Amino acid sequence: IVDAVGIDERQQLFSDMIVFSTYAIQVLSAFMMVTNLIQTSPRSLVSSKRIQEILTYGIAIPDGVVPAGQDREGEVEFRGVSFEYPETGAEVLHDISFKAERGQTVAIIGSTGSGKSTLLSLITRFYRPTSGQVLVDGRDVGEYERAELNSKFGFVPQTSVIFAGTVRSNVAFGDMADKASDDDVWEALDIAQASEFVSEMEGGLDAEVQQGGKNLSGGQRQRISIARAVCRHAEILLMDDSFSALDFKTDKLVRQSLKARVKDATFIIVAQRVGSIMDADLILVLDEGRIVGRGTHDELMEGCPLYREIAVSQMTEGTI
C-alpha cells in the first residue's frame, strides 16, 4: 500500500517498482513451497514407512540347500497339494495330484479363477503349498537353492514382459546375456516363429525395442517372450496362456516347432484355447481348484462334460 501511494505521488521510480515486484514474487514462491511441503509431508512419511517395511521384510520362503550342478531330469510331480493365499482363508487348490515325466506335455485348462496360474506359481516356489508336496526331479522344491531351482525353468508369463533395449537383449536375458551366441538367439527366435519379422526389422538382432514392446504387436511380443524361455535351454518350460495373442496358424506352427526341436524339455502349459492343447500327453481340467477331468483330448471329449463344453464353445463340430 505504501509503495502504491508512493507511485501515485510520483516519488518512486519505475525501476524501483520492478525490483519490488520481483522480490515480492520470490517471497510468495517461497511461501508456496513451504505450503506444498506441509501438504505433501504426511504422504511422504507414509510412503517412507512402506518402503522401509519392504527393505526390512524377511524372507518368506527360506532357501533350500541343494546346490547347483544336480542331475537334470525334467520331472514335475504334485502330491495331494492344497493351497490358500495368506490371510484369505479361501482354498484356491484342493488335493491336486499329477506327474509330468521328462519330455511330456501336460496342459491345464479351466475357467477363469480355477487356479491354473496359481499351480505354476507353486512349481516355481513363489508360494508354498498349504498341504502336500510339489517335487521337481524327485525333490521338494523347498529343498533347492533359489538359483538352482530357477535354472530348471523357462517361464513364459501370461502378460509378455518386454524391456527397453534390443531384440538380442530381450531374448538372451539375465544370466543368458553372456552365454547365448547370436546363433542361439536366432535359433530360439526361429522356434518361436519370430525370426522372420525380426530379420525384417532395421538392425536385426540389434533392432531397438521400446519399453513394454510398444513398437511391437501383441503377437510379436508374445513370440519374443517364448524365444526368451527357449533360449535358456531349460529342462522344464512353463507357459501361462502363452499363445493367446497368436492367430491360430501361428499358434499351431509354434507348438509344432517346440515339439520337434525342444524334444527333451517337459512342457506344462496353461491355456484357455482347446486348440492349443489338443496334442498334449495329459490334459488336466480344473474347476474351482479341483481336478474334474484328466486324460487326452479324445478321452476328455468322451468323459468330461466341462471339457467338452469348453471345446464345443470354441470349435466347430468338424474340428473337434
> Residue 190 and residue 242: Cα distance in Å, rounded?
16
Least confident of 35-39, 97-101, 119-123, 316-320: 316-320
Question: Which pLDDT score is estimated for 1?
Answer: 47
Residue spans of the domains in the chain: they are: 2-55, 76-314
DSSP per residue over 112-160, as a string? TTSSHHHHHHHHTTSS--SEEEEEETTEEGGGB-HHHHHHTEEEE-SS-
User: Can you tell me the mean pLDDT for 13-17?
Assistant: 69
d(Cα 245, Cα 218) in Å, to the nearest integer? 6
Burial class (CB in 10 A: 0-12, 13-18, 19+), 249: exposed
Mean of per-residue pLDDT scores for the chain: 87
d(CA 162, CA 165) in angstroms, rounded, equals 9
Q: Which of 47-51, 85-89, 130-134, 298-302 has the lowest mean pLDDT?
A: 85-89
Q: Kindly state the DSSP code that residue 174 receives in the 8-state scheme.
A: G
- The set of residues, in sequence order, having a beta carbon less than 8 Å from that of 290 and lying 6+ positions away, is 93, 94, 95, 96
Would you say 244 and 272 are in contact if contact means Cβ atoms under 8 Å apart? yes
Q: Is the pLDDT of residue 12 over 60?
A: no
| Strand order across the 139-140 sheet | 91-100, 76-84, 131-136, 139-140
Is residue 194 within 8 Å of 264, Cβ to Cβ? no
Q: Does residue 184 or residue 56 have the better pLDDT?
A: 184
Lowest mean pLDDT of 3-7, 189-193, 208-212, 246-250, name the range.
Answer: 3-7
- Burial (CB count <10 Å: 0-12, 13-18, 19+), residue 28: exposed
Whole-Å CA distances, 199 to 142, 224, 298, 305: 42, 13, 39, 45
Q: Are 276 and 255 in contact (CB under 8 A)?
A: yes
- 58 vs 310 pLDDT, higher one: 310
Residues 6+ apart with CB under 8 A from 33: none
What is the C-alpha to C-alpha distance for residues 280 and 298, in angstroms, rounded to an integer? 11
Over residues 154-169, the mean pLDDT reads: 91
Q: Give the containing element (helix H, strand E) for 22.
A: helix 14-55
Tell me the three state secondary structure of residue 17.
helix
pLDDT band at 112 (very low <50, low <70, confident <90, very high): confident
Looking at the domain that runs over 76-314, which CATH code has it been given? 3.40.50.300
Amino acid at 52: Q
* pLDDT tops 50 at residue 84: yes
Residue of 118, 130, 198 lying closest to 166 (CA atoms): 198
Q: Which residues pair with 91 in a beta bridge?
A: 84
Element (H, E) at 308: helix 305-314
